[in-house]
């Protein structure tokens, strides 16, 4: 093999390694996702692009108030975790309660109708599932509706970690 051929092979292999690394990172660690619709207003706006961390829930538990990306059929939806496994969630007079304890509602942008777990055919959240809601509760299709219901842990793709678009809004998602 000539030195020129060796140089070409070395250059091609370095590009191949970069491509493989990027693919593996996207599959197992980070992935971009676009906000589609107003259900998370004013926290996240339609068209914003986020980076989700797929790795965090392999090491850590899903926590209340985390903003997560969920695999629903052939699309991804973005919601906030409000109910944890084995909890009873209720909304009364626009206040969310978990097992009778009032939850933080400072990030919501609209009013919510009253809700009880029985509305979706449950007494409490199953042990492997979570109850999620959009911050714009008035228009969000979320766990309060039977067609969505509670979300099994394996349907949660990851935590919304970083907003990368628009450029003037770059930063950590809260």
Give me the catalytic one of 10, 63, 79, 159: 79
User: Is 169 assigned a catalytic role?
Assistant: no
- Three-class HEC string of the chain: CCHHHHHHHHHHHHHHHHHHHHHHHHHHCEEEEECCCCCCCCCCCCCCEEEEECCHHHHCCCCCCCEEEEEECCEEEEEEEEECCCCCEEEECCEEEECCEECCCCCCCCCCCCEEHHHHCCCCCCCCEEEEECCCCCCCCCCCCCCCCCEEHHHEEEEEEEEEECHHHCEECC
Give me the catalytic one of 6, 13, 39, 75: 39
CA distance 92 to 131: 16
User: Is 39 assigned a catalytic role?
Assistant: yes
Residues that are catalytic: 39, 79
């Amino acid at each position: 093999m000539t030195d020129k051929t060796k140089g070409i092979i070395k250059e091609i292999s370095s590009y191949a390694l970069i491509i493989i690394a990027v693919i593996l990172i996207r599959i197992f660690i980070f992935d971009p996702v676009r906000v589609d619709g107003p259900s998370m207003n004013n926290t996240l706006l339609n068209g914003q692009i986020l980076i989700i961390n797929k790795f965090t829930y392999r090491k850590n538990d899903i926590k209340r108030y985390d903003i997560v990306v969920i695999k629903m059929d052939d699309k991804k939806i973005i919601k906030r975790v409000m109910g944890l496994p084995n909890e009873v969630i209720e909304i009364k007079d626009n206040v969310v309660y978990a097992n009778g304890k009032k939850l933080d509602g400072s990030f919501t942008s609209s009013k919510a109708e009253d809700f009880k777990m029985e509305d979706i055919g449950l007494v409490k959240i199953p042990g492997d599932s979570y109850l999620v809601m959009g911050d714009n509760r008035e228009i969000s299709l979320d766990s309060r509706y039977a067609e969505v219901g509670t979300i099994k842990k394996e349907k949660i793709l990851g935590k919304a970690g970083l907003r990368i678009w628009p450029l003037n809004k770059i930063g950590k998602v809260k």
